[in-house]
Amino acid sequence: MSDFSTPTAHDGRRLAKELLLDGQGLRELIIAGMTWLKTNQQLVNSLNVFPVPDGDTGTNMLLTMQAAYNEIANSGEKNVGKMAHAIAQGALMGARGNSGVILSQLFRGFARGMDTLDAMDAPVFVKALVEAKITAYKGVVRPVEGTILTVAKDMAAEAEKALAETQDLNLILERVVDAADRSVKHTPELLPILKQAGVVDSGGKGLFFILEGMQRFLKGQALDVAVTTVQPLAAMVMENTLEQVEEGQDFEVVVDFRPEQELNLEKFYSELSEIGTSIQVGEGDGMYRMHIHVPTEKRYVPIDYIMGLGTITKVAMENLLAQMDQIGKEHTPKLHFAPVEPGQIAVVAVSPGTGISRIFASLGVAAVVEGGQTMNPSTEEILHAFENLATDKVVILPDNKNIIMAAQSAATMTVKKVAVIPTKTVPQGLNAMLRLNPEGEFDQVVKEMTQALEDVDTGEITIATRTVEINGIDVHEGEVIAIFNGKVVLAAHSIEEACLRFLEKAKAEDHERITLFYGNNISKNEVNLIVDKVRSMYPNHEIELHEGGQPHYQFIIAIE
C-alpha cells in the first residue's frame, strides 16, 4: 500500500507518485519528526522570550511527541485514520506546556481530517492540515499571531494552494515545509516581543522541525546531526554562549565573512568542529558570521580556515577568561557548584541575590535557583534545577515562605526522592546548609537540616511600601521597617536606626554571632558606617559582613 514496510530509516525512499500513505507510513513519519525535533531541541529551547516555564518549548514539544509516539510505538495498525487518532490521543495525554497543548490540538484536528480512511492521499493530507489549523484555533479566545498557530495556518494555506497544482504528496510536503520556514521567519514581524528579543517564535520553530524531519526522512537525509542550523544574524546572542565556556576553550573568535561561493554548511560545520566548540553560524544578506570557542594555541586557525572560503570583513577575538572576569564584576560570576556523585544528597537553594548565590555555592549546594520576594521561581524552574543532577536524592531550600509551595509541588513532579526543608529566610537556608552531609542517610540528614532552622534568627531591613498598622506597629510608607523572623517588629526613620533597634529587639547580646548581608540597593559607604556602629555596640560579638546582592532588602541579618 505504501513503500514504508520496514521501520528502517535514512535510505532515501520517496512516496510513490500516485501515492498512498498507510498507518505504518504515518508512524514512520512521526518518528522522523520526533527525532529531528530532538536533534534540534536545544535550539528551540534557546528561542526564549518569556521568563516563564514554557521557556523550555523544545523540551515540552518533544515530550509531547514522545507521548504520542509511545501510544503507537508497537502498533501494527495499517489504517491511517486509526493511527492518526492514536497519535492524537497520545499527544493529548502527554501534552506538556503551552506549545505541547497546541501541538496536541493540531494532531487532533489532523486525525479528524483523516477520519478512518485506510490510506492517505494528497487531498486527504491537505484536508487534514486544514482541519488541524481549524481545531487548533478553536482552543483559544484571542489567538496571538506570530506563534505556532500562525505557522499552522500558513502551512494549511500553502497546502491548499499546492493541491491545486499537484497530487504529489512529496511536492506538497516540500511546499508546506517551505511555507512553515517562511512563516517562522516572519513571526517577529507579527509579535513585537519576538522582535525585541531578536528571536523567532519557538513553538513555530518546533513545528517546523517536526515537518522538516519528515521531509528529511523522505529524502534520506540524516536526522541525528544538527548540521545546518543557521540563524538570522540578529538572533545570535553572544552573551548567552559565555555561560557555557568549556575547559581549555579560552578564546572566542567571531568572524564575519562573505563566502565566494555558496557555503556547504554541513562541511563547514564538520570542519569547524575539528577546531573548536560552541559553534554558531548566522546569516543575513549573503553575509555570514561564525562564532567558535577555541583553545589559546588554536586561536588563529578558524580565521585561516575561513580565509580560504571567501572574503573576511571583520574578526573579533576575545579572551573568554578575562571577559568572564569582567562580566563577573558586572553580572553574576560563574558559580562553581559542588559536583554531585550518584547516591549523594544534592542541595538546591533558592537565592535572591548574586552574593548569596556565591555563598551557597561555597557551602556546597549543587544548584541555585534565582528568586525571592518579588520574582518567585516557578515549580518548573525548581524542577529543572535538580532534574539533571546525577543523583536521585535532593534537598530543596526555598529560603522564602512564598516559594515553599512551589518547591513542594516540584518535589511531587519527579521520581527522585526530594525533601523540601521549609526555610523561610536566607539565614535559615545557610544554616541548614552547614548541617549537610552528602553521604549521610537521607531522612537523618533532612531531620538535622530541619532542626538547624531553629538555631538562627533572621532580620530583614526594608522600606515600607505602604502605610499600615501591623502587629500593633504603625508603619508609614517610606519608613524603614525591620522584620524579625517574618514579623514586622519596628519602624524607624533610618536604616541605621532600624538595624540597631532590631538587634536590641532580637536580643543580639545573648547571642554570639551577627552576620549581615547587604543588598543591591544600598551604598557601600552606608553599609560600612552601619557596620562600624554595630561593631562598637557589640564589641564581643563575632560580626561578619557579606555582599548579598538581594533586591528590596537593604540588609538580611542572621543572629546565632
**Residues interacting with another protein, by CB under 8 A?**
50-54, 85, 92-98, 100-102, 104-105, 108-109, 111-112, 135, 138-142, 144, 373-376, 378-379, 402, 465-468, 470, 477-478
CA neighbor of 110 nearest in space, from 137, 130, 82: 130
CA neighbor of 460 nearest in space, from 559, 356, 553: 553
Least spacing, CB of residue 487 vs another protein, in Å: 11
Characterise 121 by phi-psi region: left (phi > 0), alpha (psi -120 to 50), beta (else).
beta
Least spacing, CB of residue 295 vs another protein, in Å: 41
Minimum CB distance to another protein smaller for 196 or for 402:
402
What is the rounded CA–CA span in Å between residue 13 and residue 469?
76
Least spacing, CB of residue 141 vs another protein, in Å: 4
The DSSP annotation for 277-318 comes to: EEEEEEEETTEEEEEEEE-GGGTTHHHHHHHTTEEEEEEEEE
Least spacing, CB of residue 470 vs another protein, in Å: 7
Minimum CB distance to another protein smaller for 53 or for 232:
53
Least spacing, CB of residue 332 vs another protein, in Å: 21
Minimum CB distance to another protein smaller for 92 or for 207:
92
Minimum CB distance to another protein smaller for 144 or for 322:
144
Sheet of 230-232, strands arranged across: 230-232, 277-284, 287-294, 251-259, 310-319
Minimum CB distance to another protein smaller for 142 or for 329:
142
What is the rounded CA–CA span in Å between residue 364 and residue 261?
53
Stated length of the chain: 560
Least spacing, CB of residue 53 vs another protein, in Å: 6
Minimum CB distance to another protein smaller for 143 or for 328:
143
Q: Is 466 helix (H, G, I), strand (E, B) or coil?
A: coil
Minimum CB distance to another protein smaller for 108 or for 291:
108
What is the rounded CA–CA span in Å between residue 338 and residue 18?
61
Q: What is the dihedral of CA 405, 407, 410, 414, to 10 degrees?
A: -130
Minimum CB distance to another protein smaller for 93 or for 225:
93
Least spacing, CB of residue 341 vs another protein, in Å: 33
Instruction: Name the grid cell of 356.
Output: 548569596
Per-residue b or e along 337-346, where b marks 16 or more CB atoms closer than 10 Å to that residue's CB: bbebeeebbb
- CB proximity list for 367: less than 8 A, separation 6 or greater: 337, 346, 348, 349, 385, 386, 389
Per-residue b or e along 130-152, where b marks 16 or more CB atoms closer than 10 Å to that residue's CB: bbbbbbbeeeeeeeeebbbbbbb
Minimum CB distance to another protein smaller for 77 or for 283:
77
